[in-house]
Structure 1
């Protein structure tokens, strides 16, 4: 009888103490008091998670089960079954591939920023971190990110998919913002979209896109005043493959918290996704929320382009992309306001990689994380042969933006030392010549050129090269790749919005 709790956990997996107590009473016929004592006194390799559950319940597990897939499945079920704020937060992360920017946590987790009778988003985050259920990592180009402890041994593999999702969601939010402003859904100058620094808020809650609305069904006139109080448009977005019913649960929890408040204007609510499960779609509709798909907001061609873009950017190990596919993405997403300039930045490294494949027989790598004792930096493109290794930094700018002196300074002083240290520690590269190149589809400012020329003259241990759009164009022509030449010409050099000032 001393090992009843251990035997239960061994057979059924991690569980709430209340579940084990119920089993001991109903199946083994212990009295409720005796069952509770058995559970509370269980020791040895029976561990307890330092997290609060309703009615003083604890989550119990064996030492050998800690951090396993079964542990995480049973924990999420336990949290959701008790309607726990911690469960909604874990679900939100799971639905987003297990990792998200820290600043987006208050949007996605389902908890308000601060509200009476509710756990605040920051409290939820800190408690989950202290229980080692969530961990934090700094991601180059993003900043601090939160991820599920389940992924601690392979978190780097999740970063490309997160970056792809964020980029695609940003394009959609730009398009939605423009669409809502033009149709008068939302106050033209007061609509705001999430960023890595600041999130749109309505009262106690944070959103991916929000703003006041003066549409007549949303406006109120308090105390017979002639001055209207606006309502609000609130939107969240999740561009995974299909949003499930559990995927919308944190959103509904957050919305319920907002609707509990008095003196807050009425809300017109949207949830944007590629697609929804039938259950999720019906659940949103039943609560007066618009389940808006990308194909409905834009069109089928644009929706396919968004999915294609996400797939391309997610595949960090991808070795080759047909230039025609890049061409299709530009053509299908060009309808979204501001998309062309953002796409240049995201896809320029693929142009570089395709160009270098004509010159190097060895594999050309994209977006490789170079980790050294000095730090971690991401290399856009790396190509090597038996003589040399080239690290290429790419800036896919339009002609209205030039590579600045600060851009070059960061590359020279922050990135190159990490890349060089990484190469010198690599068993196959340490004896090869090192070349560091900076490519842009635009031009360099005079200050940037000065810094680069000085660095070229003063550097003896490796070689520095820089190429503006003219040099890049010549390099691409030398590849003899007709599709690549056309794609670069149409979308990077000769695009109608790509004018030289």
Structure 2
């Protein structure tokens, strides 16, 4: 065994830059070029990880530790040291309980979403992480691998954070245009500015920020990202600071005001952001002293929806009421996000147990069940869409072809429920197109192994009356019917 092979085996995983430093300090007079040649001659018992690290560095490791806990711990350290663009994505996913929507993740990375000289695009960076299995895709989310993650995963809490962030975005949009900071009806969510993605982008015509040309006024821009749900430390704001620094280096870019909206942040992170010219928007200070508590209640309700809706259904109603009072009745933006909770509230009245956002796995195929309800002789599997537009035939085809079969197989393999009648339901506040209705009716008639049911708002009101649920009727009328 050569000195280099023994060094790598002893270290577990080590970057080529570190090896070169050790070699040149151990053997006086050896040049870096000579040391690199020696590295290139290392035998097949040593594996190499290429293409992820700064300055073209290679990560070396003994092949026997590949895939072990030692391997992933060493890879995590190496990315933190020399793979910032990859480490940032993993750290952002960790902060968000392991899950971020695919079209939202770029805002929490340091990579541009459009080509920029000297930078890997976000698309390329994500593709590289997918290739080596450090992240994977699940429906609409990017998910960090348990092997590389330092925190526990929770899709339910991640969805709670998504809903709370969506709510904050709407409120920030409302606040910024009311005070004249941004132009009305011009804001974009999860959009691009200066080739980077932000949660919020809007033009501003505040006089001191705009540029005047001979024939037009060039606006400035308000850009914002949101970090909530955990105490934020200085490492977790680096994605935002790096994006701001990259924008400042671009010639000819419009002026901009960068906001980071938070609910809790430590002193070091706060001071670091301020020193870089960022505006820190605390939720309580922007929108009212009870706002942080409201967000936490919203996140908690979605995280623990099944238990809360079954044991304390009034908590759901109380939260809707608080949202309504705090934001002057503007809960329509939450309609889609909270619709499965409304269905869960109904199912809680007729089922012995319910689960919201249940994640199942059958033979490696994962599916999410919006509302899972158990009755003495039936299993209810509900798909919930709180849209203001009708469900298309194509959406029904995807549900029937990709979701229903996997969930049915999972139920049949579960001895505790396999003997119950299986009912698949599709709930849509926006109704269904004629083509979708025709397909549903055709499948209802031809399917014998399970039952298919569908509900538009009229049918929802009918079934609500049958069980005499005034509260469910009230929810539908107050938060869905009058908004559509």
| Interval containing the TM-score (normalised by the shorter chain) | 0.7 to 0.9
Mapped to 2, the partners of 1:69 and 1:374 lie a distance apart of: 22
Q: What is the CA–CA distance in structure 2 between the aligned matches of 1:165 and 1:316, rounded to whole Å? A: 13
Q: Distance in 1 between matches of 2:100 and 2:45?
A: 33
When residues 304 and 5 of structure 1 are mapped into structure 2, their CA distance, relative to the original with a 3 A threshold, is farther
Is residue 17 of structure 1 aligned with residue 21 of structure 2?
no
Question: Displacement of 1:133 after TM fit?
Answer: 5.1
Match of 1:266 among 234, 255, 265: 255
Post-superposition Cα deviations, 1:56-88, rounded to whole Å, max 9, x if no partner, equal 532223334444555445444434444743444
1:435 equivalenced with 2:418 (yes/no)? no
Match runs of 1:268-347 below 5 Å: 268-315=257-304, 318=307, 320=310, 322-334=312-324, 335-336=326-327, 340-347=331-338
1:418-452 per-residue CA deviation (whole Å, 9 max, x = no partner) reads: 44343334334443322334456787788877766
- Change beyond 3 A, Cα 1:65–1:161: farther
**Quick one: distance in 1 between partners of 2:39 and 2:362?**
47
Post-superposition CA distance 1:117-154 (Å, at most 9, x none): 33332333334444x15444241xx3xx4343445999
After superposition, the C-alpha distances for 1:343-382 in whole angstroms (9 at most, x for unaligned) are: 4444443454455455544x43332345557965432223
Structure 1 distance, partners of 2:62, 2:468, is 63
Equivalent residue, structure 2, for 1:211: 202
For the residue of structure 1 that corresponds to 2:161, the secondary structure is helix
Matches within 5 A, 1:55-74: 55-68=55-68, 70-74=70-74
Q: Per the alignment, in what secondary structure is the counterpart of residue 257 of structure 2?
A: strand
How many residue pairs match? The answer is 475
State whether residues 97 and 153 of structure 2, in contact with CA within 8 Å, keep that contact through their aligned partners in structure 1. Answer: no
CA offset at residue 248 of structure 1?
1.5
Q: Residues 414 and 374 from structure 1, CA distance in 2 versus in 1: closer, same or farther, beyond 3 angstroms? A: farther
Report the aligned-residue RMSD: 3.9
TM-score (norm 1): 0.79
**Residues 69-468 of structure 1 correspond to what in structure 2 (within 5 A)?**
70-82=70-82, 84-112=84-112, 113-130=114-131, 132=132, 134-139=134-139, 142=140, 145-151=141-147, 158-194=154-190, 200-222=191-213, 225=214, 227-315=216-304, 318=307, 320=310, 322-334=312-324, 335-336=326-327, 340-353=331-344, 355-357=346-348, 359-361=350-352, 363-371=353-361, 377-384=367-374, 387-396=377-386, 415-439=403-427, 456-466=444-454, 468=459
Deviation per CA, 1:152-199: give whole Å up to 9, x if none.
Answer: 9999954434333222212211111122122221122432112xxxxx
5+ unaligned residues in a row in structure 1: which ranges?
A: 195-199, 479-484
- Per-residue deviation, residues 79-130 of structure 1 (Å, max 9, x unmatched): 4444743444443344333443333343321122222233332333334444
Alignment match, 2:482 = 499
CA 1:290–1:449: 2 relative to 1, 3 Å: same
TM-score, scaled to structure 2: 0.81
C-alpha distance in 1 between matches for 2:188 and 2:287: 20
Seen in structure 2, the aligned counterparts of structure 1 residues 207 and 443 have a Cα distance that, compared at 3 Å, is closer
User: C-alpha separation between the residues in 2 aligned to 1:238 and 1:164?
Assistant: 13
Contact between 1:348 and 1:396, CA under 8 Å: does it hold in 2? yes
Secondary structure of 1:269's counterpart equals: strand
Q: Is the 8 A contact 1:233 1:268 kept in 2?
A: yes
Q: Is the 8 A contact 1:370 1:419 kept in 2?
A: yes
Counterpart CA distance in 1 for 2:396 and 2:119 is 47
Contact 1:201 1:207 in 2 (8 A): yes
CA distance, structure 2, for counterparts of residue 121 and residue 429 of structure 1? 44
| CA shift for structure 1 position 402 | 6.8
Going from structure 1 to structure 2, the CA distance change for 1:17 and 1:490 (only over 3 Å counts) comes to: same
Does the C-alpha gap of structure 1 residues 104 and 338 become closer, same or farther in structure 2, counting only changes over 3 Å? farther
Shift of 1:216: 2.2
Whether the aligned pair in 2 keeps the contact of 1:174 and 1:336 (CA below 8 Å) is no
Bigger mean CA deviation after superposition, 457-466 or 230-239: 457-466
Instruction: Provide the rounded CA distance (Å) in 1 between the counterparts of 2:193 and 2:20.
Output: 43
SS at match of 1:118: coil
What's the offset of the Cα at 1:473?
2.3
Q: Secondary structure at the match of 2:208?
A: coil
- 2:2 paired residue number: 2
Distance change >3 Å, CA 158–CA 40, structure 1 → 2: farther
1:35 & 1:261 partners in 2: Cα distance? Answer: 38
Counterpart secondary structure, 1:217: coil
